[in-house]
């Protein structure tokens, strides 16, 4: 029996326009009416998630910043696991010196350097002119998804964070250069204090080592007294693996990364086919 369902957002609950379809909204409401606890689990920032759900009248537990924050359905911060500030500054210094577009998820805003978007536009031009086979539209869509988040605040440099009490929940680096992506990934992959994940082809994300969707899901399930064996998790990307591996039932989206499909018990339809609604219907009628 499924009493708790953890749902990823991008590539899962959201469609290509970064919206939640009417079909998915209805399905979630029905599930909640049936007494199934819905938990949103995303790499996005909490306030960005709130903006996406505005007008839906849906309130859920929200695991954001890849597990670095957990909010209750009424909007209280239940727990946060920020990166230690000296470590965060060290990461940001490296990213800035190496010319990466980056975002810092904090309590109230997504901090990003003033010149970051310009940097990304230049990168896009270079990649497209050097690789004619690359689909420009796809890159533009990926950049648009980044920029469509709610709550950006522009900074001149990471040094602005140094003198503040900003809690750094998640650092996201984004690049269109495959080699640059690999260089960044390799630079951070052996960091013991950090979790390194990727939620989409062009990014990698860093959090505190104890922050993951899987750890956060365990905490929420414990709080609600639901055994993990009675949970379902659904997702599409590698940053979902930590929760897919511990949930009682793991479900891959039809559009999921091959590695995700491989570890999951089941597969549902694609995000653009309302795969989450399809899954909920199946669970409710079982
Ligand atoms: Ca996703």
Write down the pLDDT at residue 199: 85
Instruction: Just list the catalytic residues.
Output: 8
Secondary structure (H, E, C), 138-161: HHHHHHHHHHCCCCEEEECCCHHH
Q: What percent of the chain has pLDDT over 70?
A: 100
Model confidence, pTM = 0.92
What pLDDT digit, counting tens, does each position of 148-186 carry?
999 999 999 999 998 888 999 999 999 999 999 999 999
Distance (Å, whole) CA 134 – CA 94: 28
Residue 186 Cα to ligand 1 midpoint, Å, equals: 22
The tokens of 106 are what?
A: 């904090």
Place of tokens 């890159």: 139
The yes-or-no verdict on residue 1 having pLDDT over 80 is: no
Beta pairing, strands 4-7 & 231-235: parallel
Residue 130 Cα to ligand 1 midpoint, Å, equals: 29
User: What's the DSSP call for residue 106?
Assistant: -
**Domains, in order of start, for the chain:** 4-81+211-285 (3.40.50.1000), 85-208 (3.30.1240.10)
Q: Give 67's pLDDT tier (boundaries 50, 70, 90).
A: very high
**Beta carbons within 10 angstroms of residue 28's beta carbon:** 24
Residue 262 Cα to ligand 1 midpoint, Å, equals: 16
Query: Is the torsion defined by CA of 122, 106, 218, 40 positive or negative?
Result: negative
Closest CA to 216 of 239, 237, 191: 239
What pLDDT digit, counting tens, does each position of 224-277 carry?
999 999 999 999 999 999 999 999 999 999 999 999 999 999 999 999 999 999
Distance (Å, whole) CA 130 – CA 60: 45
Q: Give 286's pLDDT tier (boundaries 50, 70, 90).
A: confident
What pLDDT digit, counting tens, does each position of 170-226 carry?
999 999 999 999 999 999 999 999 999 998 889 999 999 999 999 999 999 999 999
């Amino acid at each position: 029996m499924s009493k708790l369902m953890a749902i990823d957002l991008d590539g899962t609950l959201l469609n290509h326009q970064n919206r939640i379809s009417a079909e998915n909204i209805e399905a979630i409401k029905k599930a909640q009416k049936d007494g199934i606890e819905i938990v949103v689990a995303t790499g996005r920032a909490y306030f960005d998630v709130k903006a996406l759900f505005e007008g839906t009248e849906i309130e859920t537990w929200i695991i954001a910043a890849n597990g670095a924050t957990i909010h209750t359905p009424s909007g209280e911060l239940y727990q946060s696991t920020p990166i230690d500030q000296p470590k965060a500054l060290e990461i940001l210094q490296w990213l800035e010196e190496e010319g990466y577009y980056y975002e810092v998820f904090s309590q109230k805003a997504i901090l990003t350097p003033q010149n970051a978007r310009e940097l990304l536009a230049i990168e896009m031009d270079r990649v497209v002119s050097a690789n004619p086979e690359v689909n420009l539209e796809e890159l533009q869509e990926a950049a648009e998804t980044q920029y469509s988040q709610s709550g950006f605040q522009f900074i001149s440099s990471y040094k602005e964070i140094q003198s503040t009490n900003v809690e750094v929940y998640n650092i996201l680096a984004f690049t269109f250069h495959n080699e640059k992506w690999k260089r960044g990934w390799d630079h951070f992959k052996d960091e013991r204090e950090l979790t390194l994940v990727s939620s989409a082809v062009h990014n990698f994300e860093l959090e505190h080592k104890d922050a993951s969707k899987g750890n956060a899901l365990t905490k929420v399930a414990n709080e609600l007294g639901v055994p993990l064996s009675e949970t379902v998790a659904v997702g599409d990307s590698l940053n979902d693996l930590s929760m897919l591996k511990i949930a009682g039932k793991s479900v891959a989206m039809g559009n999921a990364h091959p590695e995700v499909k491989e570890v999951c018990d089941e597969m549902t339809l694609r995000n653009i086919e309302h795969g989450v609604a399809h899954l909920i219907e199946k669970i409710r009628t079982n």
